[in-house]
Structure 1
Amino acid sequence: MELAHKMPNRVKGLMMVISGAALWGLSGTAAQVLFQEKHITAEWLVVVRMMISGIGLLIVSAWKGLKPQSIWADKKHRIHLLVFGIVGMLGVQYTYFASIAAGNAATATLLQYLAPVYIVLYTMLKEQTKPSKEVWLAVLLALLGTFLLITNGSIAGLKVSLVSIVWGILSGIALAFYTLSSAWLLKKWHSMVVVGWGMLIGGASMTFIAFPSTVSTIVWGIDTWLLILFVVFFGTLLAFWLFVESIRHLSPTESSLLSSVEPLSAVLASIVFLNVSFGIFQAIGGICIIITVFILSVKKKKSVSFNDSYNV
């Protein structure tokens, strides 16, 4: 306690954002085990994760005096929040887990990290601006990184299943929409309130498609429960809290850049714990995608940030 009290705020922020991002990445690996060994479906885990995490975030926000119920007072806010929860939050959560279920956490996380590229391209088309040299470099690195990631440098065949690739790309697109759609709400409301309601709304809407109690093929055991608890509490609630708190001690841009620890932790965990094969060219591809995030994050420093609600 005394050591934490004496710790400089900047060091606290660095430790928080790195820990939070690492937990996000590890939760993807835990989800992969649940899908491939415990026969849990992506739909089931999405519902459980979003419902519990959403309720938890709203309880914490109420405890902190943020009055989460107040967001429903305005009609525009209600409509925007519903769209954000059902299309944005549910979209990014489901596509990400579906990509993991069809492939592996490392590839799914890296493909999701293409979201900043989509955001920048969308912004340029909307504002009819010409891409800068930095943007061209980022796009080329993203394309090269994606190619190497899914082929390992050989055009003879894919090293990752096509289904996983499609879901991963859709996850990046969904994250881009999720980020852009949340920007307006985040200007008026605390991120904990917005994300909490978004998760609860998205999880509730998913129950109409795959109600959790209908799953009877799950291999239950202590390890199954521990993995589920890790995904929900450590990989979602704690990770999100650490990330949000880090912004109190760091700039949003620094927090966004350091959140790139997430794909690195997902890759390392997949290799170490799941024996996922990751070729040298796939590793280079992953590095290219992470460099892309760095380039675009620095470029976005003085514009609307896309990190307050990133990857929850």
Structure 2
Amino acid sequence: MPRTAHPALGYAFTLAAAAIFAVNGTVSTLALQAGIPATNLTALRCTGAAITLVAVLAVVAPARLRITWREVPFLAVFGVVGVALTQFLYYVAIGRMPVGIALVFEMTAPVFIALYVWLVRREKVRSRLWLALLLSLSGLVLVAEVWQGGGSLNPVGVGAALIAALCLATYYLMGERGTVTRDPVALTCWSFVAAAVFWAIAAPWWSFDAGVLAEDVPLSLGSLELPLWVLVAWIVVLGAVVPFWLSIAALRHLPPTAAGLVATAEPVFASIVAWLWLEQVLSGWQVAGGVVVLTGIVLAQTARATPVPTVLPETPAALAS
């Protein structure tokens, strides 16, 4: 019996996932400010999510975890570039500039995707791509306020966010290919496993002082403090696993393009949360630039003339927060 689609439910799930990812950006910022390096925080998030997803699938659908040796190289690149490096670079970016601004830069991934499929795959794209590119570039100029002595943002943070956008674009493009032959849920699960293995080599767990996880961290909410391990647990469960499952649920009721358009609300949510929680205030030019960039992203999302297979990224249908 075919499943009945409920678009309103799909929109609700996508907005919920975007909101949770937005809050996670601020929680991650607090963890970084507490002194945990971006490499270790990324490793903890990837490893925790991998263990959780493998455990859930092992119980509810163990057959979906089966892979062949021929799939290993693809999954390795998919997980390392699309998950491990995207998340690491995002953490580098939010450690140096406001969360909302970092997401605006990272979410330009659809623009890079549209350019790639036009230049490399020779796919037909709609003329709106050029307007999307113009708006995105113009918006980023406003966001960076480049007229203020070469820019008001940290150059390392901007560079990390833009490279993260390229890594995220790679994740989407490889995801389109991978979902042709693989179960999307298992594909994402194995991408986290590959990311976890990568960080076990790049940032070995035995070199990390786990004792810092017991230290109390100020939450910037009055005098409230929590152990760092609570923040890390939040980042793993509510920063990765829960919104991922919301993303899957949403795509049962919405096409990927619609989900992607709704997910562009994430930088808006993230900016509001960071403003209320961390007092990260954006200038009027940065807000205006963010609106322009998001408009360009919306156009880029719909620029491809060829139907896009369902892709279940680590984020709803846009950025890796």
Q: Assess same fold via TM > 0.5.
A: yes
Structure 1 residues 30-83: Cα deviation after superposition (integer angstroms, max 9, x where no partner): 1111112x1111101111100110121222233332623322x2x332221112
Q: In the aligned structure 1, how far is the partner of 2:189 from the partner of 2:138?
A: 36
Q: Is the 8 A contact 2:124 2:305 kept in 1?
A: no
Q: In the aligned structure 2, how far is the partner of 1:123 from the partner of 1:306?
A: 16
1:182 aligns with 2:175: yes
In structure 2, relative to structure 1, the CA distance for the partners of 1:310 and 1:122 (3 Å cut) is farther
Q: In the aligned structure 2, how far is the partner of 1:306 from the partner of 1:287?
A: 27
RMSD of the TM alignment (CA)? 2.1
Task: Kindly report which structure 2 residues correspond to 1:259-298, keeping only aligned pairs within 5 A, or say none.
Answer: 259-298=263-302
1:16 aligns with 2:10: no
Amino acid at match of 2:35: H
Q: Is the 8 A contact 1:99 1:168 kept in 2?
A: yes
Range with greater deviation from structure 2 (235-244 or 195-204): 195-204
Deviation at 1:306, TM superposition (A): 7.1
SS in 2 for 1:248: coil
Q: Is the 8 A contact 1:138 1:296 kept in 2?
A: yes
Q: In the aligned structure 2, how far is the partner of 1:198 from the partner of 1:174?
A: 13
Aligned residues: 301
> Could you say which residue in structure 2 is the equivalent of 1:45?
41
Q: Is the 8 A contact 2:50 2:193 kept in 1?
A: yes
Q: Is the 8 A contact 1:253 1:301 kept in 2?
A: no
> Could you say which residue in structure 2 is the equivalent of 1:121?
115
> Could you say which residue in structure 1 is the equivalent of 2:193?
200
Q: In the aligned structure 1, how far is the partner of 2:106 from the partner of 2:251?
A: 22
> Could you say which residue in structure 2 is the equivalent of 1:304?
308
Deviation at 1:262, TM superposition (A): 1.4
SS in 1 for 2:13: helix
> Could you say which residue in structure 2 is the equivalent of 1:4?
none
Q: Is the 8 A contact 1:179 1:310 kept in 2?
A: no
Which 4+ runs in 1 deviate beyond 3 A? 127-132, 215-219
SS in 1 for 2:266: helix
Range with greater deviation from structure 2 (295-304 or 203-212): 295-304
In structure 2, relative to structure 1, the CA distance for the partners of 1:277 and 1:157 (3 Å cut) is farther
Range with greater deviation from structure 2 (56-65 or 113-122): 56-65
Runs of 5+ unmatched residues, structure 1:
1-7
Range with greater deviation from structure 2 (156-165 or 298-307): 298-307
Deviation at 1:171, TM superposition (A): 0.4
Q: Is the 8 A contact 1:56 1:196 kept in 2?
A: no
> Could you say which residue in structure 2 is the equivalent of 1:56?
52
Deviation at 1:211, TM superposition (A): 2.5
In structure 2, relative to structure 1, the CA distance for the partners of 1:254 and 1:131 (3 Å cut) is closer
1:32 aligns with 2:29: yes
Q: In the aligned structure 2, how far is the partner of 1:121 from the partner of 1:106?
A: 24
In structure 2, relative to structure 1, the CA distance for the partners of 1:130 and 1:308 (3 Å cut) is closer
> Could you say which residue in structure 2 is the equivalent of 1:5?
none
Q: Is the 8 A contact 2:143 2:289 kept in 1?
A: yes
Structure number having the greater helix percentage = 1
Range with greater deviation from structure 2 (53-62 or 13-22): 53-62
> Could you say which residue in structure 1 is the equivalent of 2:204?
211
